[in-house]
Amino acid sequence: MKTSTKKCVALVLPTLLSGAVLAGCGESGSSIAPVTSTPGSTSSSPATTSKVAPTPFNGTDYYDKIAERVAYQNNSEYSFDEKMSNGTLDDDLFWVIDGYWDAGGTTNWHNGVRARNLRYVKNGDETYLGIKARGSYCRDSDLAKTAAGHIKPEGACIMTKAFLKPGRFEINMATMPREGAVTAMWTYYSKTGSEATSQNEIDIELGGNAQYDHEWTTTWTTHTDKETDSVDVSSIAYLNDGKFHKYSFDWYVDYNGTGEKRVDWFIDGILIKSITGSCVPEMMMPLWIGLWCPSWAGNPYFDYDYMLIKEIAYTEFDEVSQSVDDIRVTNPAYTHTNPSASSIASETYANTQGLNHLANGSFESLDTCVTDSSYFGWTPEDASRGTLALSDDHSEGSHSYQLNASSTSTEEYHGEYLDDKITLAYPGYQYDYSFDAKLLNATSKGNIEIRYKDKNGGTKKTETKAISGTAWATYSGTVTIPAGCAQVQFTLTAEDGSVLYDNGSVKFKGLAA
């Protein structure tokens, strides 16, 4: 059984310089900051690190029988189970963090994590912690912009006040389901302030590489001594399915009396990955939970959506067999406040569900998003030969979009075609859609086309709904994503003459029965 002499180190971290890029992301700076793995399935590490070949995806027996491997610490001063039972986060447990870190090497991509995006989400007698992700199509006035006018997406983050020892770390949450953000739980501490010599970290990251059929599992001790895997978990669930799932990792510095350092990762109690060796930390670390929008998470082409947290729990392992240096840091180097002093607004659970996946479903203006030059999601196809205009004729609000086919082109396809697509739409996902539409006159022709695409954008199946009259009518239905697809595109067309569209919505319904 491993033993060591514990050391008590009392540290006060330096204040971060205003506007500095934080350490923990491949940059020098503060001595506490989270980092993230870079996209890819694995990273090189010393020969002393090895990936274990566990028996993954084989039920919950291994998770349930943890007592066969390690004992929990009796009367632990660190263990906690936060369920927001009093309707708020516990000030004794957590800091709310304001800060900025890695954008994947892309300047001005996002605006970090901000306390203003936290919410207490009320669902009957329960309270969840919500993190509101605001993407490139969000037009809230308080969002930062670049000098060129690019909207800078935001998320939020909390961190435990205590540095935690080896144990079981768990979160019961529903991920933010859209492309362009990372939903994560991780531990992190750099003792030296330089990740070249000290980068202690264990990660659960969801949404990296614009995918929710994989979970990223990573452990580090320095910037080069690390292992990261992108684990295909689609046999358990697609992780943006709107459901709460329990994500866990067990951190050992002496696995089952062998002296081996090891981390096991689980989803809903099912082992998905294990890593052992020198890349596993042996130093106390705080726990971080958050959402942000790095470039390696894909394009944040959405308005807003939510990550929801039902429970956060940590259970300390036996401190004799799992002995680590006792590190206590009084203050993080980020701007940090108690939850009770963070002006966290309340929201109803109903208002976080059934959100419109069309950022511009009202068709009220022809304003464009600087980032992608779209009409906040709607993009004319290259094959378009007509024009797009704003009309005062409308079914709701004050305006609608009028698509006009070319009256002079001699090409067979001479219409106007306007696309918007939903990514990370996995097989079996269902979406309810609805559009109001009308033909300008009896000689006009137009359609709503639904194209199911694979993850590379190849069209696998197309459905067409013709616009049939000159009076406003609602065209609606439910789409089910077929096997082999991961996107659904809605195309509004004017094949001949002019067609008007208004009041559009595409809302996630759930998994097909």
The SS3 of residue 471 is coil
- Identity (one letter) of the amino acid at 89? L
Q: Which domains are delineated in the chain? A: 8-33+50-352 (2.60.120.200), 379-511 (2.60.120.260)
Predicted pLDDT of residue 225: 79
Q: Please enumerate in sequence order all residues whose Cβ is within 8 A of that of 127, keeping only pairs 6 or more positions apart, or say none.
A: 84, 85, 87, 88, 120, 121
Strands 8-11 and 326-329: what pairing? parallel
CA-nearest of 465, 441, 443, 450 to 506 is: 450
Can you tell me which residue has the tokens 């963070």? Answer: 342
Predicted pLDDT of residue 50: 53
Q: Please enumerate in sequence order all residues whose Cβ is within 8 A of that of 214, keeping only pairs 6 or more positions apart, or say none.
A: 208, 230, 231, 232, 233, 234
DSSP per-residue string spanning 6-51: --EEEE-PPPPPTTPPPSSSSS---S-----PPSSS-----TT-EE
Q: For 41-72, b where at least 16 C-beta lie within 10 A, e where not — what string?
A: eebebeeebeeeebebeeeeebbeeeeebbee
Average pLDDT, rounded, for the chain? 89
Predicted pLDDT of residue 87: 97
**Which tens digits make up the pLDDT trace of 228-249?**
899 999 999 999 999 999 999 9
Q: What is the mean pLDDT of each run of 10 residues along the chain (513 residues)?
A: 34 29 34 39 43 72 95 97 98 96 78 98 98 98 94 97 97 98 92 69 94 94 83 97 98 95 97 94 94 94 99 98 84 89 98 98 98 98 98 98 96 96 98 99 99 97 98 99 98 99 99 92
Predicted pLDDT of residue 105: 73
Residue 73 is given by DSSP the state: P
The SS3 of residue 340 is helix
CA-nearest of 292, 290, 279 to 102 is: 292
DSSP per-residue string spanning 356-399: BS-TT-S-------TTT-SBTTBEE-TT--SEEEEES--SSSS-
DSSP per-residue string spanning 95-153: EEEEB----TT-TTS---B-GGGEEEEEETTEEEEEEEEE-TT---TTS-B-TT--B--
The SS3 of residue 89 is coil
Predicted pLDDT of residue 198: 66
Task: State if pTM tops 0.85.
Answer: yes
